[in-house]
Structure 1
Amino acid sequence: MTALAVLGCGYYGFQLQYPAARAGRACSGMLPVGPVLDLVGKSRLSVSGLGFHTSSWRIDVSDDVTEPAGLATRCKVGGAEIAIETATGAHNAYGAYTFQRDPNSFPVPLDGGWQGLMVTKNDASTASVLLSCKNWTPEKGSGILVTADSPYDTEVTAAVRLKLARVVTGTARRAAERTGCETDPGDASGLTAPEADARTVSAGGATGTCAGMTSVSTVRETDVEKSPVEECLLSGGLQLTAAYGPFSDASYAVVNGKYGGHDDPSGVDSSTAWTSVTCQGALGIGYYHASPVEGSDRKFTSDPLTQRERADLTHFAEQSAARHGCGAPAKLPS
């Protein structure tokens, strides 16, 4: 009988090393095991953990936030990396991304009703989902931010992008369930693979993030959903960006001002024209700004925005704010 007990314990201990069991323990047990294993190329039935590594660790958030048990956490599972944290208090939501001020790398929205995005560059993809928690105050974190990277040794095909979208949305849903976050998640069955890049079209033919722009003849845009970051490139002119929640509340903004690093809700300085609005829940501040395209030496102090450029920034901000259920952004100063 004792021998059988020992054998049983040994078998149970062996089971704990299965990829499925190890993935299930990672990131405070908040991962959707099936989609994660699918992303990293392992079967839920696999009994071989050879070469399959997992690790988890806690990450810091703002001292002003008392996060729920299990947050914030980050883990590596079979070559993919995932982070789960509160929306308020995220030190730098852009930490895993390289698309800021890069005209060749755009945030593409997730669909299916998810507040999310994906960026693909240099054969790697990173995805994020932002959930508002109706029962969480800003002091408790306002919501949940999940970020996930594609495996470092995997070609990023459309199939991989869809798998990554399923991982980041599934993780957000499980994290909400485990932390008691009351939220309205998207539809898992409605997800499709995000495009790898933006598209260049005539301004008159734009139907996405650049719809209605008039200051240039050609634009570069993505589709529109409810992405926490949206971009529109006015070719040869301006880069327009909308950012919400932890993406507008970047680490430098906490120090230099709550409106994207500025003290005033709208304004123009030498390199940025901006406006903003206060939104609900984890969306926090909606921050909308225009900067000269990368490589330009234009200064707004000596070469100010034209009337059409001002109208384009205002239109871009108003369209984005309306999509996200926010009010009217502040008017640009005269």
Structure 2
Amino acid sequence: MLPVDSVLDLAGKSKLSLLGMGFEVSSWQFDVSSDVTEPAGLATRCEVDGIEIAIETTAGAHSAYAAFQGDEKTAVVPLNAGWEGFMVTDDLEATASVLLSCKNWSPKEGSGILVTADSPYDTEVTEPIRLKLAQVATGTARRAAEKTGCETQLGDPDKLTAPETATRTVSADAATGTCKGMTSVPTVRETAGAQAPVEACVLVGSLRLFAEYGPFSDASDAVVNGKYGGHDDPSGVDSSTAWTSATCPGALGIGYYHASPVEGSDRSFKSTPLTKSERTDLQRFAEKSAARHGCVAPAALP
């Protein structure tokens, strides 16, 4: 299922390397969930000369949060060219994730395909490396769909570019991406408002907002307590989280939209409730993200 040329390019190797010593390739299969009867060949994890790639069904996925854990300091930058995916980058490594909905797969068959690919651990994450990693992740997703009979819509490989590595901080009225339309604070941190299974917006000094879809909304340990990001109700507010949700097509499943205090804050929503403008911002953030993904309108906050 791997796009050989792209993987070798990311590893900095030629095809002759496949015949030589010191080039390591390994793979192994695993089950994603006892509730999923995945297609033959899934789920599988591959390691190619320091590059790790996981290919699995979106339902019951194990690797959704391989690198990204929802922290405020990690930029969640969307892929482009029509791909449902994103990349996160730190000083030493980058991870790209791509999600495909399979129109002919039910949730019991896995719903879709999730590919997670890590850059080589001993290579500086430059712009060319980010582009090569994006090509590996999207190329693997395409080949996995072909091999498993997944009927899906792919992005354009020829228009794919290297994702950025950071958010941009702008005044709220100048925001054009994930924070567009926010009014409760003067300054926001955002990324482009392209389709991605994880989207983030930081209301500087106030709240951090996240939108999560498919395996990114239902892969948390807490989800055993409820299908709405670990909650039983489609919307609500507790001491540390305000959330709403929406039903989305295919492997996107439930869209989970939530707000929490910025890192370092000791704010509790019980003692310091969301203001009217903060509630409006969360609802607007959810509505805009849901519309990008073809979901129904998110539930109203209580």
Same fold by TM-score greater than 0.5: yes
| Number of equivalences | 302
User: Cα offset for 1:319?
Assistant: 0.2
1:35 and 1:92 map into 2 onto residues whose CA distance is 21
In 1: Cα distance, 2:255 partner to 2:117 partner = 23
Residue 264 of structure 2 aligns to a residue in which SS?
coil
2:218 is paired with a residue whose SS is coil
Q: Secondary structure at the match of 1:103?
A: coil
Q: Do the aligned partners of 1:106 and 1:119 also contact (CA within 8 Å) in 2?
A: yes
Structure 2 equivalent of residue 264 of structure 1: 233
Counterpart selection for 2:172 from 203, 213, 216: 203
Of the three residues 94, 97, 120, the one matched with 2:67 is 97
Rounded to whole Å, the distance in 2 between the matches of 1:211 and 1:314 is: 12
Matches within 5 A, 1:28-43: 30-43=1-14
SS at structure 2 position matched to 1:294: coil
Residue 70 in 1 paired to residue 65 in 2?
A: no
Deviation at 1:228, TM superposition (A): 0.2
Shift of 1:197: 1.0
Unaligned runs of 5+ in 1: 1-29
Which residue does 1:6 correspond to in 2? none
Partner SS state of residue 327, structure 1: coil
Deviation at 1:121, TM superposition (A): 1.2
Root mean square deviation of aligned Cα: 1.0
Structure 2 match to 1:145:
114
Structure 2 residue 199 is matched with structure 1 residue 230: yes
Query: How far off is 1:46 after superposition?
Result: 4.0
Aligned-pair identity (%): 73
Task: Name the amino acid aligned to 1:97.
Answer: A
Q: Which runs of 5+ in 2 are unaligned?
A: none
Partner of 2:283: 314
* Distance in 2 (alpha carbons) for counterparts of 1:326 and 1:307: 25
The structure that has the greater radius of gyration is 1
Among residues 192, 198, 201, which one is paired with 2:161 in the alignment? 192
Map of 2:52 onto structure 1: 81
| Distance of 2:220 and 2:271 partners within structure 1 | 29
What one-letter code is carried by the residue in structure 1 that aligns with 2:109? K
- Cα deviation for residue 247 of structure 1 reads 0.2
Shift of 1:91: 3.1
Q: Does 1:246 align with 2:215?
A: yes
* Distance of 2:107 and 2:77 partners within structure 1: 27
Q: What is the CA-CA distance between 1:45 and the residue it aligns to? A: 4.2
TM-score of the aligned structures, taking structure 1 as reference length:
0.89
- 2:138 maps to 1:169: yes
